[in-house]
Amino acid sequence: SNPFEVKVNRQKFDILGRKTKNDVGLPGVSRSKAIKKRNQTLLKEYKEREKTNVFKDKRFGEYNTKITPEEKMIRRFTLERQQNYGKKNIYNLNEDEELTHYGQSLAEIEKLNDIVDSDSDTEERGTLSAELTAAHFGGGGGLLRKKVSSEQQDEEEEKPKSRKELIEEMIAKSKQEKQERQTRRENALELTEKLDKDWKEIQTLIARKTPKSERKDKEVEKPKPDEYDMIVRELGFEMKAKPSERLKTEEELAKEEQARLQKLEADRLRRMRGIDEEANKKRPNHMSADDLADGFILDKDDRLLLCYKDGKINIENEEEKEEEGEEEEDEEGEEEDNENEEESQEESASEDEEDDAADGHSDLESDHESEGEAAENKEEKKHKAKENESQNVEKLDPKREAAKSELPYTFAVPESYETFKSLLAGRTIEQQLIILERIQKCNHPSLAVGNKAKLEKLFGFLLEYIGELATLDLPELRTIDKLVLPLYNLCQMFPEAASDSIRFILRDAAHDLEEVIEVKGRATFPGLDMLIYLKIVSLLFPTSDFWHPVVTPAFTYMSQLLTKCRVTTLQDVIKGLFICCLFLEYVSLSRRFVPELINFLLGVLHISLPKSQAQGYTVVHPFTPVGKNLELLLVCDKEDLKSWEKQNVPLSIVTRLKETSKTEINHTRLSCLALCFDLIKKGAVLYESLPSFHEIMHPVRILLTQHIPVNEYPEKMQEWYHSALKELENKVKHYTPLICEKKKPVPLKQYTPKIVKVLEFGRKQAGSKKEQERKQLIQRHKRELKGAIREIRKDNQYLARMQLSEIMERDAARKRKVKELLGSLATQEGEWKAMKRKKWKN
Amino acid sequence: MAREAALAACLEAVLGSRSSANRVFELLEPLAGQEEPEDIVSAARTCSRLFGALLERRELFVGLLPEQDASLGESYSAQDKYRIWMRHRYGDCVRCLGELMGHDAFQVKELALCTLMKFVELEAQYPLIKIEWKGTLTFPCDLLKVVVDGLLPTTEDASLLISRFQEYLEYDDVRYFVMKAVTASIGQVMQKTKERPLPFYQQNVFSLISPINMPNKESEMVRFMVKQDNREELKFSKLQAHKQVFEKMWLTFLKHKLPPGLYKKVLVILHDSVLPYMNEPTLMMDFLTVAYGIGGAISLLALNGLFILMHQHNLEYPDFYKKLYSLLDPSIYHVKYRARFFHLTDLFLSSSHLPAYLVAAFIKRLARLALTAPPEALLMILPFICNLFRRHPACRVLLHRPAGPADMSEDPYVMEEEEPSESRALQSSLWEVQSLQNHYHPDVAKAAAVLSQTLSEMEDDISGLLELSASELFDREVKKKAVDVPLEFEQVRGLFGKKNDIFAEHFSLD
């Protein structure tokens, strides 16, 4: 274009790799473009600013981009025909429609049809083919024609394909390719497997028979190997037979165990503080106490404490299994060896085959040996473990033998809870345990594919079973006590499934609670099963973690129980105290602060007092300072007070409504009170390090010192009381003013350039992704704003120009008209004067 | 069935000829209330039809009704005598129906109510009051009074019947006269009891008047039961008059001592559906001030009404903040109205012109009380305290006191002091928050840990946290997905088999 119309934006520095868009500008062109655009839009709007009627384009499909022009034409045509169809001139009876094709009458075309065809045929026959012309005469018209025709074809073919279709096609193609690749890979794998198998078949031949036969041949062919070489090789082989690790002494074992425990404890502490949760995700695997920590993994989980005593068949079973395991391992070893051999073959292609073969064989043998040793170790270990276990079991139950002979040795994992229950129903505790253990052994995840899911289910069943045992009229707590062991083992095997099922139980319980609150407005404590579940949580999971998928919901649930549930009976008090114990146990390591615990203990103390006491403290929900359900723990009977002995509260009280004597009830009350004192003491020990320990314990202390009638209590109770009070009182009050953590000082701005790594040109890398996004947005907004302002300004200028030109036009018109008028007036005047003059003359 | 047929025949006869007018008594007899509910219902239906027809035919005496005995002797025409007599029967019927509204069966009650309201409608259309001049009020106020009295029994809860009555309160004129009638009724009934609360009666009144839906604009008042031409001139078509009656009714109701449960209910709706429709909201001042002084939950609730009065009607409340300060006790984190209270407290403490000692006292007290709060309240109060620190940077000494005395043997803050200025809060530090950093709930611990760092400039939005409930908190926890589940490494030995197990000391597995 005209160089005078080009404006070049000079660049200060040339930067490699940067693409610039705006190095050359065409101000004239862009201005005229802008003006044209404004003429079409703004000017139009401006001119129509006071007009209300609008122009409607009712042509069919004019703005519909979905239909092609041809279709549009066809539709229009049909519409037109339809409109005209009914409006025929009624007087014109024999009006014939003339059919047309491309505007020509079909009738005429029909007439000329043959002639035209033959014409064209001959013409075509006479012309040279396009290729020919292209080849001989350099294309020219022919090439052009071809191009055109091919383009047309393309258009015809590709017109219907929209962008979406194209993309879909592409996806389909890539999928197909992927599939092909996969099948190819599978084929290759199959082939290699087949080759391996073949090789295995042949290998024995090579290892044992061929070498001898070959050796002879080769001996003939080749000279005897050097003696030196032989020795060297032998030495080399000897090196491979490494000594197995020696057995560790007791001390070493103890040391290792200690180290392991220390590591686990350190892990626990880290989780408790809640730091770098993300950083260290590795789960500490369970390791048995006998673990040598030498990376040797048993393919079989036999960490159960309890085992069978007279187990000839069992031991055989075990051995069989072990043998199987060995075989498997052997095979694996062989495979490895094969690989080794292949490698060595490649390396020493020049070496003679005999040596090669010998090589492989001796390798194998030595490996066999080491395997054998390992297996022996394992067996020994197992025997030891088994002996220990059997000793344990012997102590546990003498009359097991009789019962045992009735139990089958293999069990399938029950598919439903009902079958599971029927399996355990009517058995003694020991038998139940054995059954559970056998189920686990028979269906170990390493034995079959589906076993993992089955055993995971077993955990849920076991939990449910425990819950059911706990809700019985006479809860079988002893059984539960034992069943916790298999539960623990299963949990160690499948932590995720275990946590899921426990969380499920917790969620159900919480929802029940919520519903009850919504319906009745108050909640009641749950049954013994929930309490047991909560206790089990503390056995299975570490409760000191800062956050734990099971323990944290359990905490929240317990907190709800202590704050929402009404305390109306002695059972409620016991349940509440049980939950308090749970809280204390949960936080015993982490020493976390539980306000609900202190509140509840305060409330329990409150209800042990007679009504209308002078107050210096406030009890909070669910306890009320006045009203019903007070004096639940109040004991007035002197006799009962005297005869009370501290005894453990049986948990069965919680479910069984007791019809026992008043004395017993009073004794239970006193036991609860003693428990409460003890809990206060333990809580005080736990929280003594909190800076506001005294504020937290203030109400409890007031209650203890001012309201509790100590002297009326029996001596034992006074002991509990004093030990609790001692813990509260002998803490020093110590406050240091708080100081905020120091903020990192903002560094002064310096002149040294900030160096940012440039990974991609034209993009700033600093900051996180979010920050970058924000910056980008801000920048874009700024740019848009600037652009909009500029546009508006230009619009205004344009409009002002238009208005000015309008005014000028109007003014010019006015001037012209005035001139005209004046001119006509002047001529009139002139004429009149002329007339006058004439008259004068006359 | 036979009974109904007999009633129908009777109705036919009475409507058919005046000679059999005496059979009216057959219809009225079952209404005395001794019969089976079904009989009463059918009798009431028949009566409604009979007197409806008579009203439409204008066969009842119009104007001031003379005594029945007097009318017989005097110089009335036979026609008038009949009409006077019939009007008396109508009166009997209305009285009976009014009594039936206290019947045991709800079916009967409901029908009595509907019949009476039908009479109200008909009487409004064919007034029994002589129109002497154009502005005469033709609405049957006396009849409506009977209905209202029936709706407000003193011995039982009639909320079901009252909820049935709500549809009539949509009519602007009915509402107007009901409000008047209620005012009169309260005056009568409470006069007798001499300041002793009547729980049922007051409960009934409350359930009648609390759902009253006042119009916002005069143009909205278009539904009238009586179609009178001169409506515009009448009083009950003016919004001002409505408001006046409304206000009078509420003031009369609240003048008397309320039972505590009702007190709370009144306060809950007061700011929303009462105060905006009063001509003079400041008249509620006394009631609210008294409620605010009661303490506990009632005070918390009165706060809302007081806030409106102070904010929009220039109420000056001396020592307001002192009172607010004394409202803070351990129960505020546990009560139902927690969200509401803290929303308002946030509003009150949002002024930047409050002295630092006052805000510091509030912070310290809230933090102290937080030591007994459940986690859901803690999650709300900790950002709340953060916001207070942001608004009042002078209070930050509570968090950061680098030049203070190294050791103190006592917290300088005096919790028992009623006066915020005397509580020495500014000399203290927020050790409570430091304790809460050890809270068992991870979110609470995190929220508390925020305070020991330098606060950001932006205020936290606590509106979403105000309504947080314990179950929501639980759901949030339970739904969190864990990547892996850490396990206890200590081998179990039984349910209570841990080392130093607390349970083993106190519980046995029997």
Q: How many domains does chain B have?
A: 2
Nearest to A642 by CA among A712, A710, A570, A707: A712
**Interfacial A residues in 589-618 facing B (CB < 8 Å):** 590-596, 598-599, 618
Nearest to B468 by CA among B343, B302, B305, B327: B343
Cis peptide leading into residue A622 (ω within 30°):
yes
Query: For A308-318, b where at least 16 C-beta lie within 10 A, e where not — what string?
Result: bbebeebeeeb
Query: Which residue in the set A286, A503, A511 is minimally distant from B487, CB to CB?
Result: A286
Q: The tokens of B140 are what?
A: 């049957």
Mean pLDDT to the nearest integer, B384-411:
85
pLDDT value for A348: 44
A737 in Cβ contact with B429 (< 8 Å): yes
Q: Do A499 and B408 touch (CB under 8 A)?
A: no
Mean pLDDT to the nearest integer, B478-482:
84
**Interfacial A residues in 664-693 facing B (CB < 8 Å):** 671, 675, 678-679, 682, 690-693
pLDDT value for A142: 42
As beta bridge partners, residue A593 has B439
Cα nearest neighbour of A513 on chain B: B471
Cα nearest neighbour of A493 on chain B: B487
B436 in Cβ contact with B382 (< 8 Å): yes
Domain membership flag for residue B23: yes
Asked whether the CA dihedral A489, A495, A497, A502 is positive or negative, the reply is positive
ipTM: 0.77
A672 in Cβ contact with A649 (< 8 Å): yes
How far is A277 from A450, CA to CA, in rounded Å?
33
Q: What values do phi and psi take at A64, rounded to 5?
A: -90, 110
How far is A645 from A635, CA to CA, in rounded Å?
14
Q: Rounded to a whole number, what is the distance in angstroms from the first to the last CA of chain B?
A: 69
Q: Do A284 and B406 touch (CB under 8 A)?
A: no
pLDDT digit string, tens, across residues B100-113: 887 777 888 888 88
Name the most confidently modeled range: B28-32, B81-85, B235-239, B252-256: B252-256
Residue type, A487: L
Give contacts of B365 with chain A, Cβ < 8 Å. Answer: none
pLDDT digit string, tens, across residues B416-443: 888 888 888 888 888 899 899 999 999 9
Nearest to A461 by CA among A428, A430, A424: A424
Helices then strands, counting H and E runs in chain B, come out as 23, 1
Last residue of a domain, one of B95, B130, B165: B130
Give contacts of B402 with chain A, Cβ < 8 Å. Answer: 739
How far is B358 from B367, CA to CA, in rounded Å?
14
Query: Which residue in the set A545, A592, A741 is minimally distant from B486, CB to CB?
Result: A545
How far is B119 from B115, CA to CA, in rounded Å?
6
In terms of Cβ atoms closer than 10 Å to its own Cβ (0-12, 13-18, 19+), residue B129 is middle
A413 in Cβ contact with A454 (< 8 Å): yes
DSSP codes joined into one string, B175-221: HHHHHHHHHHHHHHHHHHHTS---HHHHHHHHHHHTT----SSGGG-
Distance from CA of A286 to the nearest CA of B (A): 7
CA B225 to chain centroid: 27
Q: Where are the alpha helices (DSSP H) in A426-550?
A: 429-442, 451-471, 477-493, 495-520, 528-540
Domain membership flag for residue B112: yes
DSSP-derived 3-state class of residue A405: coil
Give contacts of A513 with chain B, Cβ < 8 Å. Answer: 471
**To which residue do tokens 């090669």 refer?**
A356
Lowest mean pLDDT among A599-603, B229-233, B471-475: B229-233
pLDDT value for A172: 93
How far is A434 from A439, CA to CA, in rounded Å?
8
Query: For A81-118, b where at least 16 C-beta lie within 10 A, e where not — what string?
Result: eeeeeeeeeeeeeeeeeeeeeeeeeeeeeeeeeeeeee
DSSP codes joined into one string, B214-237: --SSGGG----SS--GGGGGSGGG
Give contacts of A268 with chain B, Cβ < 8 Å. Answer: 486
Cα nearest neighbour of A622 on chain B: B334
B444 in Cβ contact with B379 (< 8 Å): yes
pLDDT value for A190: 93
Say if residue B56's pLDDT is above 70. yes
Q: The tokens of A286 are what?
A: 């369970």
Radius of gyration (Cα) for chain A, nearest Å? 49
B288 in Cβ contact with B309 (< 8 Å): yes
Q: Do A695 and B371 touch (CB under 8 A)?
A: yes
B322 in Cβ contact with B289 (< 8 Å): no
Q: The tokens of A767 are what?
A: 């900051």
Domain membership flag for residue B44: yes
> Which of B430, B441, B469, B495 is the best mutation test for A, with the most CBs of A within 10 A?
B495
Domain membership flag for residue B50: yes
Domain membership flag for residue B467: yes
Instruction: Enumerate the domain spans of chain A.
Output: 408-493, 494-730
How far is B202 from B208, CA to CA, in rounded Å?
10
Lowest mean pLDDT among A172-176, A336-340, B199-203, B394-398: A336-340
Distance from CA of A693 to the nearest CA of B (A): 8
Q: At what angle do helices A495-520 and A451-471 cross, to 10 degrees?
A: 40
Cα nearest neighbour of A733 on chain B: B409
In terms of Cβ atoms closer than 10 Å to its own Cβ (0-12, 13-18, 19+), residue A656 is middle
Residue-range definition of the domain harbouring residue B69: 1-130
Q: Do B401 and A739 touch (CB under 8 A)?
A: yes
CB count, 10 Å around CB of B443?
Answer: 19
Q: Do A738 and B398 touch (CB under 8 A)?
A: yes
Q: Using H for helix, E for strand and C for coil, what is the string for A624-674?
A: CCCCCCCCCCCCCCHHHHHHCCCCCEEHHHHCCCCCCCHHHHHHHHHHHHH
Lowest mean pLDDT among A472-476, B23-27, B109-113, B480-484: B23-27
How many residue contacts between A and B have a Cβ separation below 8 Å? 253
Distance from CA of B451 to the nearest CA of A (A): 8
Give contacts of A620 with chain B, Cβ < 8 Å. Answer: 330-331, 333-334, 372
pLDDT value for A310: 46
CA A808 to chain centroid: 73
Q: With residue A318 as reference, give the H or E element that holds it.
A: helix A312-347
Distance from CA of B213 to the nearest CA of A (A): 28
How far is B2 from A495, CA to CA, in rounded Å?
78
Interacting residues of B442 by C-beta distance below 8 A, sequence separation 6+: A274, A546, A547, A552
Nearest to A385 by CA among A315, A442, A328: A315
How far is B428 from B411, CA to CA, in rounded Å?
6
**To which residue do tokens 């030049």 refer?**
B403
pLDDT value for A280: 45
Domain membership flag for residue B295: no
A301 in Cβ contact with A443 (< 8 Å): no
Report percent pLDDT > 70 for chain B.
Answer: 91
Give contacts of B407 with chain A, Cβ < 8 Å. Answer: 734-736
| Higher-confidence position of B87 and A367 | B87
Q: Do A737 and B330 touch (CB under 8 A)?
A: no
Domain membership flag for residue B296: no
| Higher-confidence position of A689 and B24 | A689
pLDDT value for A580: 92
Residue type, A758: V
Q: Do B331 and A620 touch (CB under 8 A)?
A: yes
Distance from CA of B485 to the nearest CA of A (A): 6
Q: How far is CA A643 from CA A66, A669, A670, A675, in A?
A: 98, 13, 11, 17
pLDDT value for A301: 44
Q: Do B477 and A552 touch (CB under 8 A)?
A: yes
Give contacts of A594 with chain B, Cβ < 8 Å. Answer: 439-440
DSSP codes joined into one string, A241-291: SPPPPPPPPHHHHHHHHHHHHHHHHHHHHHHHHT-STTT--PPPPP--TT-
Q: The tokens of A615 are what?
A: 């107050």
Low-confidence residues in chain A, pLDDT < 50: 116-126, 139, 141-151, 155-156, 158, 210-214, 219, 277-285, 295, 297-376, 378-382, 384-399, 401, 403-404
pLDDT value for A396: 44
Nearest to B246 by CA among B287, B219, B277: B277
How far is A254 from A675, CA to CA, in rounded Å?
38
pLDDT value for A368: 47
How far is A799 from A45, CA to CA, in rounded Å?
11
Q: The tokens of B505 are what?
A: 């000391």
Distance from CA of A772 to the nearest CA of B (A): 21
Last residue of a domain, one of B130, B163, B190: B130
Q: Using H for helix, E for strand and C for coil, what is the string for A214-230?
A: HHHHHHHHCCCCCHHHH
